């Protein structure tokens, strides 16, 4: 899901750290399956202060533009508010799909903060293939 958008946060984790994430009772994971393959990722992270973060949300090219994103977002909203939370939030970034921000606004989210984050290009530190996210120039 994240290769084209240069997602790398989980690629720095060890198998044990990933297993701990998958076993966390306060985190829910969902996918959508097409032709027997998982083609989407939804991760909801609940915290003790009554918030839920839409931690990961995305479709592979096999599902983008098919209506699957709206279906999965409706599931996310229902699942988040099924618990006694008072806030449902997410982070998106300029490297994500250009459709993401308007999609989230149509889903009911309100932009409230913008910030600059600096990280190494994951293609230059061998976390992702050199040809990942080909629409984003590499500064070598």
Ligand X SMILES: CC(C)(COP(=O)(O)OP(=O)(O)OC[C@H]1O[C@@H](n2cnc3c(N)ncnc32)[C@H](O)[C@@H]1OP(=O)(O)O)[C@@H](O)C(=O)NCCC(=O)NCCS
**Which is nearest to 58 in space by CA: 24, 13, 104, 14?**
104
What is the spatial distance between Cα 111 and Cα 105, in angstroms, rounded to a whole number? 8
In the complex, least distance from residue 56 CB atom to ligand X, rounded to whole angstroms: 7
- Residue 26 main-chain phi, psi, to 5 deg: -95, 10
- Segment 76 to 135, residues that bind ligand X, using CB under 6 A: 92, 96-97, 99-100, 103, 106
Decide if residue 70 touches ligand X (CB under 6 A).
yes
What is the spatial distance between Cα 130 and Cα 58, in angstroms, rounded to a whole number? 21
Decide if residue 31 touches ligand X (CB under 6 A).
no
Decide if residue 64 touches ligand X (CB under 6 A).
yes
With CB under 6 A as the contact rule, the residue among 8, 32, 42, 57 that binds ligand X is: 57
Decide if residue 69 touches ligand X (CB under 6 A).
yes
In the complex, least distance from residue 64 CB atom to ligand X, rounded to whole angstroms: 4
Sign, CA torsion 91/95/98/99: negative
């Amino acid at each position: 899901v994240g290769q084209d958008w240069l997602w790398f946060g989980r690629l720095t984790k060890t198998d044990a750290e990933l297993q701990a994430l998958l076993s966390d009772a306060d985190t829910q994971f969902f996918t959508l399956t097409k032709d027997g393959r998982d083609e989407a990722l939804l991760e909801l992270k609940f915290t003790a202060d009554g918030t839920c973060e839409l931690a990961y949300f995305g479709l592979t090219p096999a599902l983008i533009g098919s209506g699957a994103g709206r279906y999965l977002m409706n599931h996310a909203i229902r699942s988040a508010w099924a618990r006694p939370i008072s806030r449902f939030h997410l982070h998106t970034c300029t490297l994500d799909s250009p459709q993401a921000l308007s999609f989230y606004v149509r889903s009911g989210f309100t932009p409230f903060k913008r910030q600059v984050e600096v990280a190494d290009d994951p293609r230059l530190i061998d976390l992702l293939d050199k040809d990942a996210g080909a629409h984003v120039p590499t500064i070598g």
